[in-house]
Amino acid sequence: MDKMAITPKGLKWMLAGVLVMIAGYILMMGGGSDDPQVFNEAMFNFRRLVAAPVVIIAGIVVEVVAILGVCRKKKSE
């Protein structure tokens, strides 16, 4: 077994996917209130409800592409 199951290029894509997912989770942070008696409407804004989940799903898609090896070189004969 001298070959890895995933190429170095695939590992770079996996790292990129993890970084994209981390960015999505960072986008989702915040929106809380210091006082529990006060409702903060900021927790229901576009960034937290739409943008962050889309970024996380994009990261998952990058991970799937990296794992399945779509970016592998074609064998030349």
pLDDT value, residue 61? 96
Q: Which uninterrupted H or E stretch holds 10?
A: helix 8-28
pLDDT value, residue 77? 46
- Judged against a pLDDT cut of 70, whether residue 76 lies above it is answered with no
pTM of the model: 0.78
**Boundaries of every domain in the chain:** 8-30+40-68
Question: Is residue 73 very low, low, confident or very high in pLDDT (cuts 50, 70, 90)?
Answer: low
pLDDT tens per residue across span 15-60: 999 999 999 999 999 777 778 888 878 788 999 999 999 999 999 9
Give SS3 for 70. coil
**How confident is the model over 4-21, as a mean pLDDT?**
89
